[in-house]
Structure 1
Amino acid sequence: MLRKPILLFMLMVSASSAFSQAVSPAQQKKMDAFINNLMSKMTLDEKIGQLNQVSVGFDVTGPIVSKNVNENIEKGNVGAVLNTYTPDAVRKLQQIAVEHTRLKIPLLFGYDVIHGHKTIFPIPLGLASSWDLDMIKQTATIAAQEASADGINWVFSPMVDIARDPRWGRIAEGSGEDTWLGSQIAKAMVQGYQGDTYLNNDKVMACVKHFALYGAVEAGRDYNTVDMSERRMFQDYLPPYKAAVDAGAGSVMSSFNEINGVPASGNKWLMTDLLRKKWGFNGFVVTDYTAINEMIMHGMGETTYDVAKVALDAGIDMDMVGEAFLDNLKQLVKDGKVQPSQIDIACRRVLEAKYKLGLFADPYRYCNDERAQKTIMKPEFLEAATEAAKRSIVLLKNSNNTLPLKTTGSIALIGPLADDHRDMIGPWSGAGDWQKSVSVLEGIKKLAGNQVQINYAKGANITNDDWMIKRLGADQLNNDARPANEMIDEAVNAAKKSDIIVAVVGESYGMSGEAASRSEIGIPSAQEDLLKALKATGKPMVIILMNGRPLTLKWENDNADAMLETWFAGTEAGNAIADVLFGEYNPSAKITATFPQDVGQIPLYYSHKNTGRPYQGDFTDRYKSRYLDISNDPLYPFGFGLSYTTFTYGDVKLSSNTIKPGQLLQISTTVTNTGKYDGTEIVQLYTRQMVGSVTRPVEELKNFKKIFLKAGESQVVNFTISSADLRFYDINMKYTYEPGDFKVFVGTNSRDVKEANFKLTN
């Protein structure tokens, strides 16, 4: 029997204001007085030192490792540290700063806390598939509690880049392709990390990344060029950054890419004119790893002297690891090319962050060993990780009600990821301990016990491709040395003596994330060969996917009896997957990035525009915008995801056929659970403007609601929109609405919808 999903986490979140961590006038006055007094004592060298972040400790996330760190901290040449955590490690470096420097200015400690700190949640693309903003916020809250207990006070998250090219490995770190949903998730994560106050020591400062447009890199190749129109920037790509800034994010990270000919870290229009003057951001901006130095290769200067000036002029406040500021700003001042006031502004912003975090009052407030022991990986956190993983798993196919499985009979559990631990927590899992993760085999054994006979075989390596092995490193892949045919034969034998096959396949953690772009995004051939051999046995086959991006799954979709997209589900992956497999949890997640049929369709996203010759399904109609060898359709459209039950939608009803500016349009439909199981449905609302001063997309997500229905139950689902929801950037780049005809769509995904028409009048 499927259980009703838990509607609320056991760890409740306090309500957050629209602007988290807001500073009152009295607090601002007190902070200004403190920092004015401090800066009046600082030398130019000490001010420049505050703009320098060094890398120390456990992880190497870039091409350069900092040297002479202790010495530089003693000299006052360091403002922040990257990649150091644990109370003991942080305390040792903080002691140098506050006990062995002239002015005793504490250090910031930043770390890539992307989808959890020690307790690892599903990758962000998986979390987004839950469409559960409260849960996503809660994962950030837990991450903040663990990170702050482990010495960290600043996290490089959320990553809010809109991504419409799944070849780009970093699509795993974001929320997918949709602007509206991405903006809601950005806000939720900032509020989860920062809350309303740092006073309780269990919050951290968020750093929104990567500013800006990084998800649109050409060819899906990391660190590459971005070039787009101003309209597309403001309409599609910039809103999630703006939402994070409006939510009160304390810091922003510049991106590696260039934007219309100027690298982000040297782009004054981006960092000053837009971010600070137009959006009113008053936090500080840090570069990504060595991004200032890399502007030399971009062609923005011949030496670090040149690009340090470009970055400071643009509005960059802190240099991550490259030490271009440390090595060059003093000379630039002497040469009259940089004004001391520019350094003062950047220094003030960094000092303000430290003040807000309470580090001047207590530099060791994040260095409590007892708190770390009591907080990290608490049972409640692991329960939350299990729940988050279950809510993130997408049912892509379920022919003949193959799932859920019964806790009887025998299962052939096959695949290189079936008894894997390291890959469960995925890329960018930072401080996560993969040895504490739960494998699928362990999860099934725990749930089914001795009631199910499990016949396990690895069946294949993740990849046997020599080039890929060389790129990733054999240590990442844990490859079996046996010949491929021997491993497949073992798996086939296990399948033949079992009632059903459960094949756990996909990517390794190193095949997605930073520096992990792929030109082909299908299941690696070694695993494809395994799946085809298993299919030939004639046994029903369930495919469990683990991956950090949408994959091309045409063969899998045609040949699997059922398929679950589990992403990289985190520490509790195996337990969550077992719960879904055996019906302890009815899947409800829906994808937030379109799955193409073929890599040649990329970029492919639901909110595209029509051409003057749109393809409308007649493949013999030659002179239309289409391919000769494949349809335009995705394999799985944005918002797609099945359930063990079925839902039917009634007609879309409107409160009026016309609305005026300022009026509300009520939209409703009746959703009925027509299946045998209780379940949760994500009801999605889209609109389309039929005519505009500039062309408009065929669909735009405007809202959604998650509803729980018992078998046979119906519910009227209501939405409200107004003219404010219909705004866009018009021919004059004014953000406004235009009167005219609209369609409204309500449905289970962006493709399967019912529609109604209305008019916006003057």
Structure 2
Amino acid sequence: MKNAISRSSWLATTCAIAMLTACNANDATTAGQTGAAPAAQDTQAAEAAAVLPYMNPDLSPEERAKDLVSRMTLEEKASQMYDKAAAIPRLGIHEYNWWNEALHGVARAGHATVFPQAIGLAATWDEDLMLEVATTISDEGRAKHHYYAAEDVYAMYGGLTFWSPNINIFRDPRWGRGQETYGEDPFLTGRMAVNFVNGIQGDDDKYLKAVATVKHYAVHSGPEPSRHRDDYIATDADLWETYLPAFKMAMDEADVESVMCAYNAVWGAPACASERLMVDLLRGDLGFDGYVVSDCGAIGDFYYDEEKVAAGEAPYVAHDYVDTRAEAAAVAVKMGTDLNCGDGEGNKMDALPEAVAQGLIDEETIDQSVIRLYTALFRLGMYDNPSLVPYADTSIDIVASDENIALSEETARKSLVLLKNDGILPLADDTKVAVIGPNADNWWTLVANYYGRPTQPVTALEGIKAKVGEENVTYALGSTIAGDIYSDYKPVPANVLFHEDESGELVSGVQAAYYEDKFISGEPLLEQVEDNIDFYWERTPGTNGLNDEFGAIWQGVIVPEEDGVYRFQPSRWSKVEIDGREVGETDDVEMKAGERYPFTMTLNFDSGWPRDQLDKYAYLNWTNVSRDLEAEALAATEDADVILYFGGIDANLEGEEMGVELDGFLGGDRTHLKLPAPQEALVKKLHATGKPVVMVNFSGSAMALNWEDENLPAIVQAFYPGEKAGEAIADLLWGEYSPSGRLPVTFYKSVEDLPDFLDYSMENRTYKYFEGEPLYPFGHGLSYTAFSYSDVGVAGDYVPGEDLTVSVDVTNSGDMAGREVVQVYLTRTDRPNRSVPKVELVGFDVVDLQPGETASVEVTVPASQVGYHDENGNLTFPEAGSFTVSAGGGQPGFTGNVSSVEVAVAGE
């Protein structure tokens, strides 16, 4: 069926080009029918395609792109340089939305397999696993794209151009988007990036499976609230030692197709308009030949100023780098930005015709950008017969398949990091546990940000109950997650929802009406009674479309079973009225048990910015905020042998440019690293019970768990571990496997130990330069077994400019099978200045070993990792003295299981 539908779209395109009336793509292959198109019709379409070079698959993608662009008007070219690219019917070009996300699974397009957040993927330190995860993500992306395209839906989040991965360096733990990265080390980040890009883009010699986009090029890692106006300075040493290596690796080793430039300015010019960053470095030194997309709104940032904000022509004050829209578009394209992701203020590239008329840019420069864009689309097979494209028959049935879900669980298991264990873990089979904490049953800890909709989500609480039986588990929320923010919202249950019949009697369920018009006008298309309001729709109710706007009204009566003060949380696009007044998320509603509270919820499923009709949902959640959470928690511990505390934060507190402002959090970033105050107070009271408290911490960033480290017997760092997190965590706690995750970031004791957030110098940042004492070092992670290292060695003296091969024997000296992450570090005894790393990860591998088993591991260290970059950014190799290579289960100086060797430099 999918082949037939795909051929239908291709036939429609070729027919539009040749305007062959005999060619009717709808005859036999319309959506919902099966069977191949008639052979004669197929032949005619192919002949029609051959008429014009850009539809000839035998030509190179660039040749085809050049021919197509030569046939466009200037205005048509400008319309293609926007994320919502317009159709050009006379050329057979359908609309296309360039914006899609795949950070840890296909995002914002409904159901998908949800893997651990990127920082958790990095915690596996497993390149092969990363390749497998990314391959699975691109499989699902392909399947979804063809499913939508079969019905001529080319909407946001339905395309094949993914704006992932985020390979910025997590240089400061305060950055809210650090969760999206692979951590603080450029080499680990680069290795993860290479495998992710290869998995996304596929291995076919002719066609791309999908496009990967490395972002945000290149000196970018917060703060979030000021990212549209900040100007950062990076030294040449820091540029080449820290900010560029992962981008270079993705280009050199994975031929990444796309780059996203950042919001902030660098060295005085916005990143997307920086001649040094975009022309000299990206197109020059790095040799990138793909296309560049701006971050969303970054081109508008060039000219947003106070006057434009006052006039309603801009949403905020930004760089004020140029004066007009035309100047912004022209300088962006001249510096190599090919595609504008908008910001709700429209397409900035539509000013290019005006810019050409003003002499700000020539049309040939614009042509080059559009050629780059269509080269990518032709490489994707976007306008080719599906029979030629090896990925075009990917079935929608693979999305969230059992195999993919199992891979998500495997990845979660390998991402969990055991930070501390005084021997309490693993738990005995008959242990009775009290599960306490705001993240024990928090859906958001599974999905983090940039997420798809999981089909089999398992929270920690659910996983533990399934593991040991509900009779062995007591549960309490215990506290808010931070400030006055609750994490236990659940759909208002069916047992308290009613509607009144004509006689005024209560009848179970709420009355629902669905409208074709999002503004809820006219007669409803569909009316029915529903149990409660908790929906995810594959297709639009009423019209059955994949991408239709619609409106809905639910009316009923809430009859609570308990007195309380309740807060309500409606889904996006919705508003709720209770007892005749509109209720927001922070409004308290006092309710009495057994009394009737009429309510109405309206949903206006909108096409505003950003548009995401492919992810259609509605819910009405609530929580009772009048409970004594602390008393409930202490009561829950009474019969428990062990308290399992699930705390930390979630992606509603840290993330991208958010409206959060409370103790510890500002605009998506963090202002300190401590556990939020309500949780810290609760943990201390749980500890005071005298029962052992095991903590599982969820966060996308480092936490200063100083008191917890001193007083609790065991701590697990979970990051945001994906949809099967609960099962993976329960299995770890009860010893079904030995933990193998390792930290991809340093856990500091305090932000007081760090430089100013706005300072982009790497001095005293990350494990490579930090002069203080960390709480947990980069690379740290414990196991349930033990590993020993011996016979580390290199082959002779090191020859500057060459790779270095390091070998070491690793033995599982414990009594349990386990996976070990072998980490190879280089320490320089001839460190010439503070811009040179004092210690540096130069290689790693993973090995699975049975008790008593030994493996010989060989790691090739690239020459670029042996050398360092001097103050001018030049790669420099040691010429005198020696350096030390260490192989072990962590950084030298922080772990006992390490073996080291001094390496002499040849010629001395």
TM range (shorter): 0.7 to 0.9
Q: What is the percentage of aligned positions where both structures have the same residue?
A: 33
Q: Is the 8 A contact 1:593 1:605 kept in 2?
A: no
Residue correspondence of structure 1 range 466-477 to structure 2 within 5 A: 474=585
Q: Is the 8 A contact 2:804 2:866 kept in 1?
A: no
User: 2:821 aligns to what?
Assistant: 682
Residues 555 and 602 of structure 1: CA distance in aligned 2, closer, same or farther (over 3 Å): same
The AA in structure 1 aligned to 2:117 is I
Q: Is the 8 A contact 2:568 2:622 kept in 1?
A: no
Q: Is the 8 A contact 2:803 2:862 kept in 1?
A: yes
User: 2:241 aligns to what?
Assistant: 235
What's the C-alpha RMSD, in Å, of the aligned pairs?
3.1
Out of 242, 245, 258, the position equivalent to 1:251 is 258
Tell me the distance in 2 between the aligned counterparts of 1:365 and 1:317: 28
Residues 527 and 692 of structure 1: CA distance in aligned 2, closer, same or farther (over 3 Å): closer
Deviation at 1:541, TM superposition (A): 1.0
Out of 333, 337, 340, the position equivalent to 1:316 is 337
Counterpart check, 1:391 vs 2:533: no
User: 2:629 aligns to what?
Assistant: 487
TM-score computed with the length of structure 1 as normaliser: 0.82
User: 2:129 aligns to what?
Assistant: 135
Out of 104, 108, 122, the position equivalent to 1:115 is 104
Deviation at 1:598, TM superposition (A): 1.1
Deviation at 1:648, TM superposition (A): 3.0
Tell me the distance in 2 between the aligned counterparts of 1:470 and 1:694: 57
Q: Is the 8 A contact 1:198 1:357 kept in 2?
A: no
The AA in structure 2 aligned to 1:681 is E
Cα offsets for 1:733-755 (capped at 9, x unmatched)? 43242312212222221232443
The AA in structure 2 aligned to 1:113 is A
Residue correspondence of structure 1 range 142-221 to structure 2 within 5 A: 142-151=136-145, 152-197=159-204, 203-215=209-221, 217=222
Which has more radius of gyration? 2
Tell me the distance in 1 between the aligned counterparts of 2:702 and 2:476: 26
Cα offsets for 1:114-136 (capped at 9, x unmatched)? 10121111111111010001111
Residue correspondence of structure 1 range 509-658 to structure 2 within 5 A: 509-515=651-657, 516-602=668-754, 605-609=765-769, 632-650=772-790, 652-656=792-796, 658=797
Tell me the distance in 2 between the aligned counterparts of 1:477 and 1:416: 20
Residues 677 and 424 of structure 1: CA distance in aligned 2, closer, same or farther (over 3 Å): same
Tell me the distance in 1 between the aligned counterparts of 2:858 and 2:369: 48
Q: Which moved more, 1:472-481 or 1:387-396?
A: 472-481
Q: Is the 8 A contact 2:695 2:715 kept in 1?
A: yes
Cα offsets for 1:593-641 (capped at 9, x unmatched)? 000011212356454448xxxx7xxxxxxxxxxxxxxxx2000000000
Q: Is the 8 A contact 1:199 1:358 kept in 2?
A: no
User: 1:355 aligns to what?
Assistant: 378
Q: Is the 8 A contact 2:824 2:841 kept in 1?
A: yes
Deviation at 1:729, TM superposition (A): 2.3
User: 1:412 aligns to what?
Assistant: 434
Residue correspondence of structure 1 range 273-284 to structure 2 within 5 A: 273-284=280-291
User: 1:712 aligns to what?
Assistant: 852
User: 1:745 aligns to what?
Assistant: 886
User: 1:91 aligns to what?
Assistant: none
Residues 370 and 194 of structure 1: CA distance in aligned 2, closer, same or farther (over 3 Å): closer
User: 1:90 aligns to what?
Assistant: none
Cα offsets for 1:532-575 (capped at 9, x unmatched)? 11111111111111111111110111122111111111111111
Tell me the distance in 1 between the aligned counterparts of 2:431 and 2:766: 42
Residues 563 and 538 of structure 1: CA distance in aligned 2, closer, same or farther (over 3 Å): same
The AA in structure 2 aligned to 1:302 is D
Q: Is the 8 A contact 2:831 2:838 kept in 1?
A: no
Deviation at 1:497, TM superposition (A): 1.1
Q: Which moved more, 1:219-228 or 1:461-470?
A: 461-470
Q: Which moved more, 1:386-395 or 1:658-667?
A: 658-667
Tell me the distance in 2 between the aligned counterparts of 1:665 and 1:30: 39
Tell me the distance in 2 between the aligned counterparts of 1:237 and 1:48: 32
Q: Is the 8 A contact 1:443 1:577 kept in 2?
A: yes
Q: Is the 8 A contact 1:255 1:265 kept in 2?
A: yes
Q: Is the 8 A contact 2:885 2:901 kept in 1?
A: yes
Residue correspondence of structure 1 range 492-507 to structure 2 within 5 A: 492-507=634-649
Residues 651 and 488 of structure 1: CA distance in aligned 2, closer, same or farther (over 3 Å): farther
TM-score computed with the length of structure 2 as normaliser: 0.69
User: 1:9 aligns to what?
Assistant: none
Q: Is the 8 A contact 1:744 1:755 kept in 2?
A: yes
Deviation at 1:269, TM superposition (A): 1.7
Cα offsets for 1:356-378 (capped at 9, x unmatched)? 11112259999x99955412100
Q: Is the 8 A contact 1:292 1:307 kept in 2?
A: yes
The AA in structure 2 aligned to 1:204 is A
Tell me the distance in 1 between the aligned counterparts of 2:769 and 2:724: 40
Tell me the distance in 1 between the aligned counterparts of 2:58 and 2:272: 28
Q: Is the 8 A contact 1:597 1:634 kept in 2?
A: yes
Deviation at 1:196, TM superposition (A): 1.7
Q: Is the 8 A contact 2:164 2:212 kept in 1?
A: yes
Tell me the distance in 1 between the aligned counterparts of 2:114 and 2:481: 22
Deviation at 1:141, TM superposition (A): 1.0
Deviation at 1:727, TM superposition (A): 2.1
Tell me the distance in 2 between the aligned counterparts of 1:552 and 1:221: 25
User: 2:449 aligns to what?
Assistant: 427
Deviation at 1:439, TM superposition (A): 1.1
Counterpart check, 1:730 vs 2:870: yes
Tell me the distance in 2 between the aligned counterparts of 1:332 and 1:200: 35
Q: Which moved more, 1:379-388 or 1:40-49?
A: 40-49
Q: Is the 8 A contact 1:137 1:191 kept in 2?
A: yes
Residues 547 and 372 of structure 1: CA distance in aligned 2, closer, same or farther (over 3 Å): farther
Q: Is the 8 A contact 1:255 1:288 kept in 2?
A: yes
User: 1:332 aligns to what?
Assistant: 355
Deviation at 1:725, TM superposition (A): 4.1
Q: Which moved more, 1:41-50 or 1:521-530?
A: 521-530
Q: Which moved more, 1:40-49 or 1:459-468?
A: 459-468
The AA in structure 2 aligned to 1:388 is T
Tell me the distance in 1 between the aligned counterparts of 2:382 and 2:186: 36
Residues 494 and 38 of structure 1: CA distance in aligned 2, closer, same or farther (over 3 Å): same
Residues 724 and 238 of structure 1: CA distance in aligned 2, closer, same or farther (over 3 Å): closer
- Higher helix fraction (1 or 2): 1
SS across alignment from 2:845:
strand
Deviation at 1:354, TM superposition (A): 1.2
Out of 380, 384, 405, the position equivalent to 1:382 is 405
User: 1:67 aligns to what?
Assistant: none
User: 2:477 aligns to what?
Assistant: 458
Tell me the distance in 1 between the aligned counterparts of 2:369 and 2:854: 57
Residues 493 and 252 of structure 1: CA distance in aligned 2, closer, same or farther (over 3 Å): same
Tell me the distance in 2 between the aligned counterparts of 1:722 and 1:365: 38
Counterpart check, 1:755 vs 2:900: yes
User: 2:4 aligns to what?
Assistant: none
Residues 37 and 680 of structure 1: CA distance in aligned 2, closer, same or farther (over 3 Å): closer
Q: Is the 8 A contact 2:740 2:783 kept in 1?
A: yes
Tell me the distance in 1 between the aligned counterparts of 2:905 and 2:568: 58
Tell me the distance in 2 between the aligned counterparts of 1:127 and 1:432: 18
The AA in structure 1 aligned to 2:352 is L
Deviation at 1:669, TM superposition (A): 3.9
Corresponding residue pairs, total = 668
SS across alignment from 2:425:
coil
